[in-house]
Amino acid sequence: MSAPILEMRAITKTFPGVTALSDVHLTVRPGEIHAICGENGAGKSTLMKVLSGVHPHGSYDGEILFEGEPVAFKDIRASERRGIVIIHQELALVPYLSIAENIFLGNEQARGGFVDWNGTLRRADALLKRVGLREKPQTPVADIGVGKQQLVEIAKALSKEVRLLILDEPTAALNDDDSAKLLDLIVELREQGIACIIISHKLNEIRAVTDAVTILRDGRTIETLTVRESPGAQAELSEDRIIRGMVGRDLDHRFPDRTPYAGEDAGSPALSVAGWTVRHPVDHQRTVVDDVSLTVRRGEIVGIAGLMGAGRTELAMSVFGRSYGVYVAGEVAVNGRRVVTRTVPAAVDAGIAYVTEDRKRYGLNLIDDINRNISLASLPGMRRRGVVDGHHERSVSERYRKTMNIKAPTVFEEVGRLSGGNQQKVVLSKWIHADPEVLILDEPTRGIDVGAKYEIYTVIDTLAAQGKAVLFISSELPELLGMCDRIYTMAEGRLTGEVTRAEATQELLMRHMTQTRSTKS
């Protein structure tokens, strides 16, 4: 067995009031794909920030050995000089620069004090071919999709003579085809001798490509499972086996038992959308939501399934205060009463809440605390003589911190420091306290581990049992099948089908999701 390329020994990292890592050990071998799994808040990203120099040497306890030598990185540049490159979940590309400029940003190819553009384009083209991307180096990054942007990030890493590549949730925002291409590339890099560390919640992908899995729980190393050492090793690494290590228990049921809403108005329409049509915010000739009509009843969870670009998010955002696109036609009714939601405040006043798919950009103020974030949508109800009642605000936030199991020492913890799952619980708390009639949930469990998912599913079921209407958008078909009473499908901005829980299967949903205008005609 070859000597390790990386050893992290007894790594301990603390923040004020929180021990993020405690005596963590990690060993990675050359040319190995090594996954790190754990619930949100387990310490995965913190460990990688220690390794890559984001948390510099001296801010943590323990020892790091790379290629057999002790290393003490003071910043990211120091780790990159040794061949350790991290690609974060939020891609660090400049959209209005070209692919070539992004690849060599901060590492410009210079000659005589000036950028060598011919050399830059020539080398960028070679790197793009290496990662299987056919785009021209001069193409602006804004003109390519997220899947291709991930490949640009990997090309950027290869330009730095990477020896150990760290990928944090690399497929979280990708569709199935782009995910498969990216995983194939990671396998090719392994064949070239490049070691990879992958942080991912997609357990099926982990089982497909990894050689070893290290499981963290509550900031500690639980175990490392090897995958390819024996013929029966792959069978041992089942999803249930990984989940048991992550959460410390078996999850016999991935979805909670449902308690139906029993109110007198059960089954009555809570949200009705009729003839909803919206055009693209820039290209006004392009229709992104085309004559959509749907209904969500009180106490019902209704899903929307569709491939990337189907128009699901565009529909949700445009209904919620026309916050996307150019409104053309359509009506919205809440509890049978027509409402006009020209603005977000008008939508909130009408009883509609929207949990965005991009919680960091649109759902939270990352530099503010839990307390302020939870109260944001309900400030009018917290006023006392025209001023926000701070005591009432704190008591509300504290209640949700406990009931939603938000892992933070106090409600004054900065939201940007929380894990993705805990950030999502803050977003849900904000809207639940606003007491809406209708909740539109757009990818509410994206990038969240199985334990936190179950907690969020339980919250959603509880809301439905109280008579709330839930419109549930998800790219994960098993999630829709496990949670929803009915499922609408979309393609090219149009509704293409409506399926009940009893008849829904992944195959049937996929058939409707791929029913484009050409296939229908």
Task: Spell out the domain ranges in the chain.
Answer: 1-83+163-252, 96-161, 259-351+437-521, 365-435
Neighbouring C-beta atoms of residue 270, cutoff 10 Å: 27
Rounded alpha-carbon distances, angstroms, from residue 65 to 8, 20, 61, 73: 6, 21, 13, 11
Phi, psi of 75 (to 5 degrees): -165, 180
Residues written for the chain: 521
2: buried, middle or exposed (CB in 10 Å: 19+, 13-18, 0-12)? exposed
Q: Which of 48, 77, 42 is nearest to 60 (CA)?
A: 48
pLDDT for the residue 231: 44
Task: Give the range with max mean pLDDT: 172-186, 214-228, 464-478.
Answer: 464-478
Residue range 300-313: mean pLDDT, rounded? 89
Q: Which residues contact 455 (CB under 8 A, 6 or more apart)?
A: 404, 405, 421, 425
What does the DSSP assignment read for 150-163?
A: HHHHHHHHHTTT-S
Distance CA(428)–CA(462), nearest Å, equals 13
Checking if the pLDDT of 521 tops 50, the result is no
Tokens 């009940």, located at residue: 500
pLDDT for the residue 1: 61
Q: Are 26 and 214 in contact (CB under 8 A)?
A: yes
129: buried, middle or exposed (CB in 10 Å: 19+, 13-18, 0-12)? exposed
The one-character DSSP state at 324 is S
Token duo for residue 78: 């120091």
Residue, of 89 and 84, whose pLDDT is higher: 84
Distance CA(111)–CA(119), nearest Å, equals 9
Q: What is the dihedral of CA 153, 158, 159, 162, to 10 degrees?
A: 120
Please state, for a pLDDT cut of 70, what percent of the chain lies above it.
94
Checking if the pLDDT of 84 tops 60, the result is yes
pLDDT for the residue 251: 55
Confidence of residue 517 (pLDDT cuts 50, 70, 90): low
Confidence of residue 120 (pLDDT cuts 50, 70, 90): very high
Checking if the pLDDT of 308 tops 80, the result is no
Residue type at 58 in one-letter notation = G
CATH code, 259-351+437-521: 3.40.50.300
Mean pLDDT score across all residues of the chain? 88
Domains 1-83+163-252 and 259-351+437-521 share a fold: yes
Query: Of the ranges 57-66, 409-418, 482-491, which one carries the lowest mean pLDDT score?
Result: 409-418
Distance CA(498)–CA(17), nearest Å, equals 49
8-52 residue pLDDT tens:
999 999 987 678 899 999 999 999 999 998 876 788 889 999 999
Q: Which residues contact 83 (CB under 8 A, 6 or more apart)?
A: 160, 161, 162, 163, 164
Q: Which residues contact 359 (CB under 8 A, 6 or more apart)?
A: 420, 423, 424, 427
Confidence of residue 232 (pLDDT cuts 50, 70, 90): very low
Fold designation for 1-83+163-252: Rossmann fold (3.40.50)
pLDDT for the residue 381: 81
Distance CA(244)–CA(421), nearest Å, equals 18
Distance CA(86)–CA(168), nearest Å, equals 8
pLDDT for the residue 252: 57
